[in-house]
């Protein structure tokens, strides 16, 4: 009886280890999002620069900026010509009314606390 129990446990553990490995999803490498810089550019407005590591679908590259109770839609694009920054998001020009205030930008599933930059004097 004891011998059968050991054999049964050994077979079950082998099956569990085989199916456990086969059922584990493929991660395809690590993914991360890093906020590189925030600035105001005269030709664009408030710009958030990001560094993406790993594979991201274009549908994942969406962002929003929350300042107080206000949520502002931010428009994002890939940037393939720069190695340090490979995605940038531009907030509408009305964002400058919140200059100096803290906000939270959410991009590709990651959130960052930022200070909204002021429009520089010419």
Helices (H), 1-119: 2-23
Sheet of strand 87-90: strand arrangement? 32-41, 45-53, 87-90, 70-78, 63-67, 102-107, 110-115
What pLDDT is stored for residue 26 in this prediction?
44
What pTM, to 2 d.p., does this model score? 0.70
pLDDT by position in tens, the chain (length 122): 767 766 655 556 665 555 544 444 444 568 889 999 999 887 788 999 999 988 888 888 999 999 999 999 999 988 877 677 789 999 988 888 999 999 999 999 899 999 999 887 76
pLDDT value at residue 16? 52
Q: Determine the pLDDT at residue 72.
A: 92
Encode burial over 66-98: b for 16+ CB neighbours within 10 A, e otherwise: ebeeeebebebeeeeeeeebbbbbbbeeebeeb
How much is the pLDDT for 41? 83
Domain boundaries, the chain: 32-115
**Domain at 32-115, CATH from 3.40.190, 1.20.5, 2.60.40, 3.40.50:** 2.60.40
Q: How many angstroms separate the first and last alpha carbons of the chain? A: 89
């Amino acid at each position: 009886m004891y011998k059968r129990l050991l054999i049964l446990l050994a077979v079950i553990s082998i099956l569990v280890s085989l199916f456990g490995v086969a059922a584990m999803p493929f991660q395809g490498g690590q993914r991360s999002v890093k906020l590189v810089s925030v600035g105001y550019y005269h030709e664009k407005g408030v710009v958030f620069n990001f560094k993406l590591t790993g594979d991201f679908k274009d549908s994942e590259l969406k962002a929003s900026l929350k300042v107080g109770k206000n949520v502002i839609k931010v428009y994002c694009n890939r940037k393939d010509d720069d190695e340090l920054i490979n995605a940038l998001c531009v907030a509408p020009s009305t964002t400058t009314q919140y200059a100096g205030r803290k906000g939270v930008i959410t991009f590709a599933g990651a959130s960052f606390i930022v200070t909204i930059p002021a429009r520089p004097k010419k």
